Amino acid sequence: MSKTTKKSPIKSDILLRVRMLYLLFVVVGVVVFLRLVYVQFFSREVDVNAERLEARIFREEVIPAQRGSILSRNGDPLATSIWRYQVEFDFGSEGLDSVSLFNEQADSLGKLLANYFGDKSAKEYSDWMKREHDKHYRVTYRKDTAVLRSEGWLARWWDRVLDREMVPRKLYDTLRDHRPVTLLPRTVDYSEWQILLRWPLLNWNMGMVYTLVEGDERVYPQGELARRTIGLSGIRGTYGIEHIYKEILSGTPGKTTRQRIARGFYRRVSDDSNVLVVNGLDVVTTLDPDIQEVANNLLQSQLALQNAIWGTTIVMEVATGELIALVNLGKNPDGTYSERENYALGRSTEPGSTFKLASMLLLLEDAGMSPEQRYDTGDGRPMTVGGIKVQDSHGGYREMDFRTAVAQSSNVYFAKAVWERYKDNKERYDAFMRGLHLDRTVGLERFGERTPHFDAFDQVPDPNGMLVRRSFGYRIRLTPIQMATFYNAIANGGKMISPVLVKELRSEGRTVEEFETRTLVERIASEGTLRQVGALLESVGVEGTGRQFFGDTTLYHVAAKTGTAQYADERIKYTDGYYVGSMAAYFPAENPRYTVLTTIFTQRQAGKAYYGGPLAGPVVRDLIRYLYSHNHDWAPAIERPQKRERLQPERVKDTYADNAERKNSVGMGLKDAMFWLESRGYRVTFSGSGEVVRQEEPVNGVVHIVLK
């Protein structure tokens, strides 16, 4: 009987383990090989992982371009951009794992932030930072005894294969939330950030635990001044220079590649994909902030005084067409006034008697009518002309010559004169008016200029009525800027030029592009006609509807015309009592330098003005006074025929003769006070009319006087 040899159970167990390991290694090897084949030939995983790795090491950063500024004619900023900074804090950053150290630093930073911004106490700041840290960084511990048993059969099998004891382990979970949190209560500029950068946590004393976010913030140093002209571009509005020149102002953002060298630290890498940033260009306007502010204040006061609906004031430089002031004020629901709409360019109305300038040119230049021509104007009674009832706004005159008709703004005179000469030749009338460029825009279409409403006679059912009414400013609709351009042509020796609002583009102070004045009509009338028209317009201020504003002016002469028109549109009838009152003027009449126009829209009310003279005249008068008092360099803008010698004050009245005892200008009239003060080296501003009742202390060489 043979004896059977038994294998040792220990050896069998070892052999089993070796075979299992061998089999496991084979299986793993096959899996790895198949995986390599799959990844190499059938999967994009290599590319994806490479892209992920590259994304962690390299990042492409967009460098924003700085938006260009909008400047006044003197280079003062009307709209500009400044870099602003905000801190986006990472309260889940590994650099803040030391809770005790973070709390200490948060207390210190909270005190500094509270003292600097003043919006919260130091405790509120530090408590808020600690709460945010608790929310974004949490450590959760697990129970010791259940750790390995809860890991599943594979972990237990692996420990058995390695003949390893089940040692309890103390494990924990770290929960991090890296979403950024805005730290500062507001954005700060560069100089402020240089201060904050030295404070705890912000000075990297616990590592780079935040991202500094740069932003380009638009600011308007002049406030709401000329806001409709300067404009906006964005969700708050799209109009004005900001919108029209948006691409030019915006520039082109750049791109750069940065390589990560440590957490929170990157360096710029030279790369073909890098794009240099191109900052936006500066847009230089023709606006003068000082004149704009004065015009704004004068118009605002007059609108409030007359409880008017809207108004606009335009100041144009005669020789260049540059708009040095463009004010547009409309009434708000609360009764205040602000730049609600660009009325100067976008509101076309029947101009009324300011349009008689076109009839004056027509009668003198085309019809050859004698200035001595007289007509019976009815002494304020209705008269029939061409089948239309026409009436002057006031009586006192039966027969008038041309000069008186212009000075007194007689509708009947112009209706009779035009009807008599063009009733059978309306085409010639139409051609002459179109030759004055009254049927087209003047070049500001991009800014919202509306096209004139100028019907041809063969397009209307009542050509006779249109001819008569158009002779004194009805049945044609023009915007204030078009009317100002027309008057500026008379001041400019007959040459009509387009208004200019943007004069050049600059880059870092260097002119990149310059915009020149465009000629619309080379000469609208002969020198003889222009001389006659200029004298007629001067008569308005000497003896006519502008006498109360310019009748006592001796230092300079003003050529002006007032206009009043009843207003109607699709919703408003003429009988509803709405009026457009205006005054157009240029001065000095001998050598014109500025053209000024004010148009005001109002509804007739008891005790309030609605005629053009009293409605718009005070604004034009005071603005001309300001322009004269601040500009004594009256070099001729153009050569004009028959110039009068300009009068200059040589001394004040004997009553105000200079002596050592006189301390101020109280009691003087405006002209004497200005001469007396300016002779002592002061610049003068004033308000009111009459005699000086108060002289304020000089500020930076400027003295303000109050008249009453």
55: helix, strand or coil: helix
pLDDT of 548 strictly over 50 = yes
Mean predicted confidence (pLDDT) in 543-558: 88
Instruction: Return d(Cα 646, Cα 635) in angstroms, integer.
Output: 11
Instruction: Return d(Cα 383, Cα 419) in angstroms, integer.
Output: 13
Residues 6+ apart with CB under 8 A from 572: 578
Say which residue, 63 or 440, is predicted with more confidence.
440
CB atoms within 10 A of CB 384: 11
Say which residue, 646 or 62, is predicted with more confidence.
62
Ramachandran class of 455: left when φ > 0, alpha when ψ lies in -120 to 50, beta otherwise: beta
167: helix, strand or coil: coil
Q: Given this model, what pLDDT does residue 594 score?
A: 97
User: And the tokens for 154?
Assistant: 């594979």
The pTM score is 0.73
H or E stretch at 331: strand 323-331
Concatenate the DSSP letters of all residues of 385-439 into one string.
Answer: ETTEEE--SS-S-SEE-HHHHHHHT-HHHHHHHHHHHHTT-HHHHHHHHHHTTTT
Phi, psi torsion values for 33, nearest 5 degrees: -65, -45
Q: Is the dihedral of CA 146, 147, 149, 152 positive or negative?
A: positive
Q: What is the pLDDT of residues 351-378, one digit of tens each?
A: 999 999 999 999 999 999 999 999 999 9
Which of 443, 519, 425 is closest to 481 using CA atoms?
443
Q: Given this model, what pLDDT does residue 148 score?
A: 41
Q: Which of 93-107, 227-241, 423-437: highest mean pLDDT?
A: 423-437
Say which residue, 504 or 204, is predicted with more confidence.
504
Say which residue, 698 or 129, is predicted with more confidence.
129
Phi, psi torsion values for 199, nearest 5 degrees: -90, 160
Mean predicted confidence (pLDDT) in 499-515: 93
Share above pLDDT 70 across residues of the chain, in percent, rounded to a whole number: 82
The packing angle between helices 612-630 and 670-678, to 10°, is 20
Residue pair 226/78 in contact (Cβ under 8 Å)? The answer is yes
Say which residue, 644 or 349, is predicted with more confidence.
349
User: And the tokens for 500?
Assistant: 């200019």
